[in-house]
């Protein structure tokens, strides 16, 4: 088993964005956050994954702030921590420290572990960022979304493009040397020139990593309602496809390697944590709505924050879903998200399945290609990836 990762969900946000259907709550003061952090630390304390990935030859963190566990104390070895949300940058540094201490109290952390925290513009100060750095956060996932003030308003992001630039400068001043931008394409009313300007602005700021998503519309959101009522229109499919192609070319020209359908990085800066999801390595989630994968099962926590806290305070668990997964299907459609694709011989050895017929049809439609024994999506296949994945499920 390869080293695992830990995902921590912090559900609080300053306000609710118009497209968001994540498990989030509007921040209404520190009391609710305190109660949540207590419940979260209790969960980390109580729930160890049922694996034994401990290996004596691993190099463990020698961080003096966190007492080293003996091997007998900890069955789990991890090399990534990802604190997502929500807006984790709304946490106070002492709350973050309690969460990290709880993790260090139960897990063996690899030396040089990647420790990411999601940060939103205008939610931090230079002091809070410096404190987060001191606590061991070494990667910032920065929620830019767009540099266009009209679009930021449409998305109800609660910040403008000047906030984006100011917060980014603070991240660098605080010593963050690994910053990832989130950007969204295909916004209502967005034109190709708008998207080109977004890419140009992002590239000029030289983040180490970019995650670029196509806007998804979730039924119960205000944005979905605006579209239903005809007040907004989405760009047509052809324009969105052209935006995707422009993104690949523009970022390749600026020295970014595409390593996954939506993710680009300067050499050496691919997200180690997110890669675990695509290569089916274990990831243990803690907090409201957090999902976990232990190598065999997926399981998930309650999605409502108040209920999650009550469950953790009153009973032993907040788990509401557990399922066995079809490993061979997941191996294919998660592996195909990566530009390196999957090794067909390895797949055959591991699962005893041969899917030559299906591959032949997809190759004919120029959706996949086989290069040196690896099956991978073509550029066209990346655009129509759901069609490809459906073939393998
Ligand atoms: S900041 Fe992120 S998590 Fe929070 S409401 Fe907006 S999109 Fe949702």
Ligand 1 pocket test, pick from 26, 86, 153 with the greatest ligand atom count within 8 Å of Cβ, gives 86
Which of 265, 232, 209, 100 has its CA nearest to residue 153?
232
Q: What is the pLDDT of residue 356?
A: 75
pLDDT class of 1 with cuts at 50, 70, 90? low
Q: Which of the residue ranges 42-46, 155-159, 171-175, 202-206 would you say has the lowest mean pLDDT?
A: 42-46
Above 60 in pLDDT, residue 60?
A: no
Query: Ligand 1 centroid vs 248 CA: distance in angstroms?
Result: 26
* Interior angle at CA 386, CA 18 and CA 363, nearest 5: 150
Nearest CA to ligand 1 atom 2: 86
Q: Which two tokens stand for residue 59?
A: 């190099």
Q: Which residues lie below 8 Å from residue 367, measured CB to CB, with a gap of 6+?
A: 377, 378, 380, 381, 384, 387, 388
Pairwise pLDDT comparison (2 vs 28), residue with the higher score: 28
Q: Are 135 and 174 in contact (CB under 8 A)?
A: no
Span 30-41, mean pLDDT?
Answer: 96
Is residue 51 within 8 A of residue 75, CB to CB? The reply is: yes
**Predicted pLDDT at 71:** 45
User: Mean pLDDT across the chain, nearest whole number?
Assistant: 91
Number of other CB atoms surrounding residue 286 within 10 Å: 23
Ligand 1 pocket test: which of 10, 17, 144 has the largest number of ligand atoms within 8 Å of its C-beta? 17
Q: Whose alpha carbon is nearest atom 6 of ligand 1?
A: 17
- Residue whose CA lies nearest to ligand 1 atom number 7: 20
pLDDT on residue 200: 98
Domains in the chain and their CATH numbers? 4-278 (3.20.20.70), 327-392 (1.10.10.10)
Q: Which residues of 117-152 are buried (b: 16+ CB within 10 A; e: fewer)?
A: bbbbbebbeeebbbbbbebbbbbbbbbbbbbbeebb
The residue ranking higher by pLDDT, 77 or 339, is 339
**Could you read off the pLDDT of 107-144 as tens digits, one per residue?**
989 999 999 999 999 999 999 999 999 999 999 999 99
Closest approach atom of ligand 1 to CA 156:
6
pLDDT of residue 52: 43
- pLDDT of 353 reads 85
Q: Ligand 1, closest atom to CA 157?
A: 6
Give the model's pLDDT for residue 59: 53
How many CA atoms are closer than 13 Å to the CA of 352, on its beta-carbon side? 0
User: Best substitution site from 9, 11, 22, 220 to test ligand 1's pocket, by max atoms within 8 Å of Cβ?
Assistant: 22
- The alpha carbon of 390 and the centre of ligand 1 are apart by a number of angstroms equal to 29
> What is the residue with the minimal CA distance to atom 8 of ligand 1?
20
Atom in ligand 1 nearest the alpha carbon of residue 24? 3
Determine the distance separating the centroid of ligand 1 and the alpha carbon of 143, expressed in angstroms: 9
**How deeply is 275 buried, as exposed, middle or buried, from its count of CB atoms within 10 A (0-12, 13-18, 19+)?**
middle
Which atom of ligand 1 lies closest to the CA of 21? 8
- Ligand 1 is surrounded, with C-beta below 6 A, by 13, 16-17, 20, 22, 24, 85-87, 120, 143
Span from the CA of 13 to the centroid of ligand 1 (angstroms): 6
> What does pTM read for this prediction?
0.92
Nearest ligand 1 atom to the CA of 15 is 5
pLDDT of residue 81: 98
Question: What per-residue confidence (pLDDT) applies to 23?
Answer: 87
CA of 283 to the centre of ligand 1 (A): 22
Task: Name which of 216, 188, 186, 212 is nearest 199 in CA terms.
Answer: 212
pLDDT digits (tens, 9 = 90+) for 190-235: 999 999 999 999 999 999 999 999 999 999 999 999 999 999 999 9
Kindly give the distance from the C-alpha atom of residue 16 to the centroid of ligand 1, in angstroms, as a whole number: 6
Which range among 232-236, 348-352, 363-367 shows the weakest confidence by mean pLDDT? 348-352
pLDDT at 54 (0 to 100): 41
Does the pLDDT at position 99 exceed 80?
yes
| pLDDT of amino acid 359 | 87
Residue 294: the pLDDT is: 87
Q: Is the pLDDT of residue 98 over 80?
A: yes
pLDDT digits (tens, 9 = 90+) for 289-338: 999 998 888 999 999 999 999 999 998 789 999 999 888 889 998 999 99
Residue 393 scores a pLDDT above 80: no
Burial 40-75 (b: 16+ CB within 10 A, else e): bbbbbeebebebebeeeeeebbeeeebeeeeeeebb
Question: Where does the pLDDT of residue 74 fall: very low under 50, low under 70, confident under 90, or very high at 90 and above?
Answer: very low
Mutate which of 9, 85, 159 to test ligand 1's pocket (most atoms within 8 Å of Cβ)?
A: 85
pLDDT over 50 (residue 380): yes
Whether pLDDT at 254 is above 90: yes
Residue 55 has pLDDT above 50, yes or no: no
How confident is the model at residue 316, as a pLDDT?
75
Q: Which long-range contacts (CB under 8 A, 24 or more apart) does 237-243 make?
A: 239/191, 239/192, 240/185, 240/186, 240/214, 241/383, 242/192, 243/185, 243/186, 243/190, 243/192, 243/195, 243/214
Give the separation between CA 346 and CA 364, rounded to whole angstroms. Answer: 23
- How many angstroms is it from 261 CA to the middle of ligand 1? 22
């Amino acid at each position: 088993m390869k080293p695992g990762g830990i995902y921590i969900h912090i559900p609080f946000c300053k306000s609710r964005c118009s497209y968001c259907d994540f498990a989030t709550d509007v921040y209404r003061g520190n009391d609710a956050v305190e109660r949540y952090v207590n419940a979260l630390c209790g969960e980390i304390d109580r729930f160890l994954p049922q694996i034994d990935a401990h290996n004596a030859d691993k190099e463990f963190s020698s961080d003096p702030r966190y007492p080293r566990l003996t091997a007998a104390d900890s069955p789990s070895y991890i090399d990534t921590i990802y604190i997502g949300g929500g807006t984790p940058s709304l946490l106070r540094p002492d709350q973050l420290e309690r969460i990290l201490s709880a993790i260090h109290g139960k897990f063996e952390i690899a030396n040089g572990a990647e420790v990411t925290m999601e940060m939103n513009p205008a939610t931090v100060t230079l002091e809070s960022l410096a404190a987060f750095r001191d606590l061991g956060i070494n990667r910032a996932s920065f929620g830019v979304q767009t540099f266009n003030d009209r679009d930021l308003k449409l998305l109800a992001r609660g910040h403008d493009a000047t906030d984006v630039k100011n917060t980014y400068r603070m991240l660098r001043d605080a010593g963050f040397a690994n910053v990832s931008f989130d950007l969204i394409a295909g916004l209502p009313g967005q034109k190709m020139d708008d998207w080109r300007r977004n890419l140009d602005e992002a590239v000029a700021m030289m983040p180490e990593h970019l995650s670029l998503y196509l806007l998804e519309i979730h039924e119960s959101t205000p944005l979905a309602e605006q579209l239903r009522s005809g007040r907004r229109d989405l760009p047509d499919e052809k324009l969105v496809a052209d935006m995707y192609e422009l993104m690949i070319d523009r970022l390749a020209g600026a020295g970014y390697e595409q390593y996954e359908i939506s993710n680009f990085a300067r050499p050496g800066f691919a997200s180690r944590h997110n890669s675990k999801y695509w290569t089916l390595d274990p990831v243990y989630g803690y907090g409201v709505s957090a999902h976990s994968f232990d190598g065999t099962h997926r399981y998930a926590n309650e999605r409502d924050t108040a209920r999650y806290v009550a469950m953790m305070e009153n009973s032993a668990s907040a788990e509401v879903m557990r399922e066995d997964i079809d490993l061979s299907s997941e191996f294919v459609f998660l592996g195909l998200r990566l530009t390196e694709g999957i090794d067909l011989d390895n797949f055959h050895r591991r699962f005893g399945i041969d899917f030559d017929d299906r591959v032949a049809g997809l190759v004919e439609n120029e959706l996949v290609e086989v290069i040196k024994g690896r099956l991978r999506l073509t550029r066209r296949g990346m655009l129509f990836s759901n069609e490809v994945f459906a073939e393998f499920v």
